[in-house]
Amino acid sequence: MDLSSKLLLVNCLRKVIGPSPSPLDARNPPGEGCQPRANAILSSGSPLPAAKGRGWGTHAWLLLLLLATFTAHAQQALTLAQTQAAALSNNVAIKNRDLGRTSALEGIRAARWAYFPTVSGFGIGLYGFRNFVDPIPELLPRGVNNFYIAGLSATENIYAGGQVGLSNRLARLQSSVSEVRYADVRDSVNMETEQKYWQVVQAQEQLRALQASERYLNQLLKELRDNLKAGLIARNDLLKVQVQRGQILLNESRARNGRQLALLDLGLYTGLPTDSTTVLTDTLATIFNPASVYVPPAEAAKNTRSYQLLNTAVEARRLQTRLKRASFRPTLSVGVSGAAAGVIDRGIGSTFTPTGLAIVNLPISNLWGAARNQVRQQRLNETIAENNLQNGTNQLQVGIQQAYYSLREAYQQTGLATQTQAQATENLKVQRDSFRAGLTNLSDLLDAQAQAQQAASQLISARAEFRLRLSMYQYLTAPAAK
């Protein structure tokens, strides 16, 4: 059922169960025209009875129940866990990091093949349009115009300066880096989803607070209209309330638009379909002292994934230095080889003959050439990585401590906002009682209502800020897997 159909049913109910018609409404009694339209909307059920006089009696309440049922079914309720799960399954960055993990595993498998022999084959065939060798009587009746050779070899590294082992260690290190980055991007997506979720909840609760203020002013307007009819107040008092109610309605419209925009942002990020009927079930009411989640910055920094990545970068540079040095050392390989050669269609050829071989490579010029400079370059890169580790650790500690101070400040703001909201609510109650008793004027009551509305809005904002800063602090201090 779309929104226009729901509104039609609500309007019909208002006409049906509204006040008794006056003589001026005789030509258009309540409920007139509602029955056929409502029956068309609810065509799957039984037809509604014809409207007469005050309405449809118990059938009106049945219609109201049906409307509530359809509205409940139309609403989409989402929890924080559901949105985070959807974001993890739809986020492109996570998919790319997962591919990176697979790529790193392939690198490990590729590096392992260096432990196995290298097998290769070769073949060469030549054909001449003229004879390579002219015929020789009694020895070579026909000339030779083609030639072939084919062979097969297998070699195994006996000593490669440690390059094979170091390459495998570097491949495993790269795989561990991919795992850390994958976990880090998952935490980042969870944090980003949580923040977008709480922004929607904040807009949702701000809208509810404004609607509560609207209901309060509506009740006040009803009382003032009765007082105006009795001649107890002036008309401008009624206008003051109407002006303040109009401002509330304007703020409601802004809050509703803000909620829709925040819902759209959440839906696009998580891949979940969202619309005006989407409702987030979590609330901002849960607030606790952040001292319960505090971790000393020095301890927290060295347990984070960011520190693990910086430390791994140092280890990788050291391995690269050793690998570069190993590439300039002598190498020793052994193997077997075999080949056969001959001439096609001439009966000339050799059998396949296997041979053993040993290959030694002595890079003599590396003792004084560019190899020494390349090793020094790698050592300088090691020092740079170590400096980055120290600087990054310091920045992590400062960032974690700053995040905690922000979280603690947000917690203190929620306490002050809670106290202010309670005082503003009590003040509004006192002003309402005093106004009814004739001890204060309407302006004081409207000021108290505005203060109560502002206090409620500030409390919601303070609680939302606490949740946002808490998610950031938990992300920064999330421990890495050992």
Phi, psi angles (nearest 5°) of residue 135: -60, 145
Strands in 40-180 per DSSP E: 76-78, 118-127, 146-159
Query: What pLDDT, on a 0 to 100 scale, did the predictor assign at position 73?
Result: 46
Query: What pLDDT, on a 0 to 100 scale, did the predictor assign at position 131?
Result: 79
State the Cα–Cα distance between residues 114 and 110, nearest whole angstrom: 8
What is the value of pTM for the model shown? 0.75
Which tokens in the block code for residue 108? 């490990």
User: CA-CA distances (angstroms) from residue 440 to 180, 222, 434?
Assistant: 66, 19, 6
SS3 state at 300: helix
10-residue averages of pLDDT along the chain (482 residues): 45 44 38 46 42 44 49 71 94 91 91 88 85 75 80 89 90 93 94 96 96 95 89 86 94 95 94 89 93 94 93 94 89 89 74 83 79 88 95 96 97 97 96 90 94 96 97 90 54
Query: What pLDDT, on a 0 to 100 scale, did the predictor assign at position 128?
Result: 79
State the Cα–Cα distance between residues 266 and 272, nearest whole angstrom: 8
- Judge residue 320's burial from the number of C-beta atoms within 10 Å of its C-beta, 0-12 exposed, 13-18 middle, 19 or more buried: middle
- Judge residue 284's burial from the number of C-beta atoms within 10 Å of its C-beta, 0-12 exposed, 13-18 middle, 19 or more buried: buried
List the chain domain ranges.
Answer: 1-74
**Contact 407/470 with Cβ under 8 angstroms?**
yes
State the Cα–Cα distance between residues 133 and 143, nearest whole angstrom: 5
User: CA-CA distances (angstroms) from residue 338 to 123, 147, 149, 353?
Assistant: 12, 17, 11, 5
